[in-house]
Structure 1
């Protein structure tokens, strides 16, 4: 077999392959054997029909077609390996010449990973939020804990801010009560903002048995996004009673004996949270700057596939669960179709560039993923998917997604490497010494790449679904 490569553009090549006919022998034998098992010829036992009889009865062309279909993936894979290409997706194959007993010639056009030069990132500098925990932050944290241990008791007075009211709701659109627009005995804390816009003003001042009507835009359900006339009836008003803020409360709400110890622990937890947010900010902003420095061409078909994947996931998974279609979603978001398309394309471009660039860094820096790192990543992914580690691991293995997980960990290590090498300062101008968690960096990289699947799923051994043209 002989093959040659023609570069069509930085992300696409054409392979020209010439196969001597004798190299089709194994595929021809397999074709005769397969046909033998499928046909019945009088005078011959099943599976024992001679090749010449198959040629006479069913045509040599049928045998050649079966043999070529069997051989093409093997020769294509050999040509790809010989040229040391990194193909993306399936090739478009064109059989240019097939002469029985002489030769098989074909071309295969396929997208490839572009060659990327890693830019000098030593000069990158990013600014992140400073880690400052104020007394107000601590008081707010303790107050939230205090509210969790609050109790309520019914009162015979008009509802006020902070009260918990029990309400019945009825929503009408165009004068008609919606099928899913009636709800009874809903507990609601006035001022929480957890229900409809306008409900706080409607219920404040009402006593048990009182009702009011107001207009609000529905946030979900069959009429999401539409203006509705909502009638609310208060069936009970209850005052919230908070425990006294003292050492007894600290012992009730925590493992600490004193309120001062509880507040000290709150400070430590808030500092840890802000440090985590600071590290995440640094990773995201360093990645943005790194992408600005790199020249990364993108295969047109890969980009189109990625945009379609993102749109499909939004329409058929996320919006479907919310009972919305794309038109209603865009209406709620206040976006035009053109703006949505542009935004989705921009996200897809960033995802593809991120994956290409970090993968190149993995190769250049010879970063490896060990079993412990992979297991830790699997555990975190399982937790975020609300699955047990065993269930998630089984799903990963059955879906042949282990290489994908390895890639996520490796890209996280690559991003962590860059973050540790650049300058990070906080909003006060102070240098930030980040102890970058590679798992956190993996999550940042994963969020950027999101649904980029085509590059990971591409396999030169698999040409099923290949667009093939006969000469």
Structure 2
């Protein structure tokens, strides 16, 4: 077999392959055998029909077609290996010559992973927000904790801001009550902004048993984005009583004896949360700076596939679960479809560039992924997916996605190498030390929290999460391409 590689552009090549006919012998034998099992000829037992009879009855062309379909993937793969190429997706195959008993020649155009030169990245310098905790931040944190320990009592007066009202709601569009537009016994705190726009003004001043109507744009459900007439009935009005901010409150709401101890704990945890936010910001900005340093051509077909995949997932999964369509979503976001498409293209392109540059770094720095690192990453992914680690691991194995997870971890390690080499300063001009990140995270995990919101914000930043937020869809596209390559015989 002879093969030659022609570079069409930095991300696409054309393979020209010539195969001596004798190398088709195994595929021809397999083709005769397959046809033998599928057809019947009077006078011959099934499976025992001579090749010359098959040629006479069904045509030599049918046999050649079957043989070529069987052989093409193997010859294509050999040409790829000979050319030391890394293909992305399916090739476009064109049989240019097929001479019986002489020669098979074909061309295959395919996108390839571009060659990337990683420059010296040690000079990268980024600025992040300072991890400072103001007294106002502590006040807000303690106040949020105080809100959770508020008590309510039914009152015989008109509802006012801050009161909790129990409501029955009924939404109509064009005079018709929506099937999903009726709700009863809804508790709502006036002024919280957690329900429909306009409801605060509507219920303020109403007493128990009062009723009114108002118009509002629906944010979800079957009529999302449409103006609806909403009827609201007030069942009860309750006032909220907040506990006094004193030592007794600290003992009730936490493990601390004094309010000052509670405030200091909140300050400590807010500081940890800000450091995690700072680390995440550093990772994102270093990644952006790295991508700016490197010329990374993007295969157009891969980009279009990535854009279509992202749009399909948004429309058919995320929005579908919310009862929205794309038009309603765009109205809520106050965007045109052109603006949406432009943003989607930018995000997809950044994801592909991120994967390419980090994968090249993995090779350059010879980074490996240990079983322990893979297990830790799997646990985090399982937690974010809402599945148990065993369920998630089983789904990953059955879906053949283990290489994808390994790639995610490796790219995270590559980004960590760049962040370590970069200079990170805060907005005060001070150099930020990110080395104690793991130790701080362990402290948060080990201690109980008196402030749930601060605890939630203090999720450990992970280099792989920053990298994969941009690169994961491209990684999935590459994984799908690898699966498709295994099915080239059908496509050919």
For the aligned pair, the TM-score class normalised by the smaller chain equals over 0.9
Q: Which residue is 1:345 aligned to?
A: 345
Matches of 1:434 and 1:343 in 2, distance apart? 32
Q: Which residue is 2:107 aligned to?
A: 107
- Per-residue displacement from partner, 1:291-347 (whole Å, max 9, x unpaired)? 111111111111111111111111111111122211222122221121111111111
Matches of 2:254 and 2:461 in 1, distance apart? 30
SS at match of 1:40: coil
Q: Which residue is 1:449 aligned to?
A: 471
SS at match of 2:120: coil
Correspondent of 2:487 among 447, 454, 462:
462
Contact 1:74/1:461 (<8 A) preserved: no
Matches of 2:271 and 2:287 in 1, distance apart? 24
- Per-residue displacement from partner, 1:407-431 (whole Å, max 9, x unpaired)? 1111111111111111111111111
SS at match of 1:451: helix
The CA deviation at 1:104 is: 0.9
Matches of 1:249 and 1:399 in 2, distance apart? 52
Q: Which residue is 2:389 aligned to?
A: 389
Matches of 2:415 and 2:110 in 1, distance apart? 29
Matches of 1:51 and 1:178 in 2, distance apart? 70
Q: Which residue is 1:95 aligned to?
A: 95
The CA deviation at 1:251 is: 3.0
Gap regions ≥5 residues in structure 2: 439-459
SS at match of 2:220: coil
SS at match of 2:473: coil
Q: Which residue is 2:404 aligned to?
A: 404
- The equivalences for 1:56-67 within 5 A come to 56-67=56-67
Matches of 2:28 and 2:257 in 1, distance apart? 83
- Per-residue displacement from partner, 1:418-471 (whole Å, max 9, x unpaired)? 1111111111111111136697111111111242233232234431563x5xxx
Alignment partner of 1:179 is 2:204: no
SS at match of 2:185: strand
Change (3 A) 1:175 1:43: closer
Question: What value does the CA root-mean-square deviation take over the aligned residues?
Answer: 1.7
Q: Which residue is 1:414 aligned to?
A: 414
Matches of 2:231 and 2:279 in 1, distance apart? 47
Q: What TM-score do the two structures reach when normalised by structure 2?
A: 0.91
Contact 1:378/1:405 (<8 A) preserved: yes
Contact 1:4/1:16 (<8 A) preserved: yes
- Per-residue displacement from partner, 1:103-141 (whole Å, max 9, x unpaired)? 111110000011111122222211111111122212221
Contact 2:69/2:489 (<8 A) preserved: no
Gap regions ≥5 residues in structure 1: none
- Per-residue displacement from partner, 1:379-432 (whole Å, max 9, x unpaired)? 000000000001001110111111111111111111111111111111111111
- The equivalences for 1:374-385 within 5 A come to 374-385=374-385
Segment drifting more, 433-442 vs 360-369: 433-442
- The equivalences for 1:242-321 within 5 A come to 242-321=242-321
Segment drifting more, 60-69 vs 144-153: 144-153
- Per-residue displacement from partner, 1:29-77 (whole Å, max 9, x unpaired)? 1112212222223333322222222222222211111111111111101
- Per-residue displacement from partner, 1:250-288 (whole Å, max 9, x unpaired)? 333223333333222222211111111111111111111
The CA deviation at 1:222 is: 1.8
The CA deviation at 1:189 is: 0.8
Matches of 1:351 and 1:63 in 2, distance apart? 45
Q: Which residue is 2:157 aligned to?
A: 157
Q: What TM-score do the two structures reach when normalised by structure 1?
A: 0.95
Contact 1:90/1:465 (<8 A) preserved: no
Flag as ranges the 4+ runs of structure 1 deviating above 4 A.
436-439
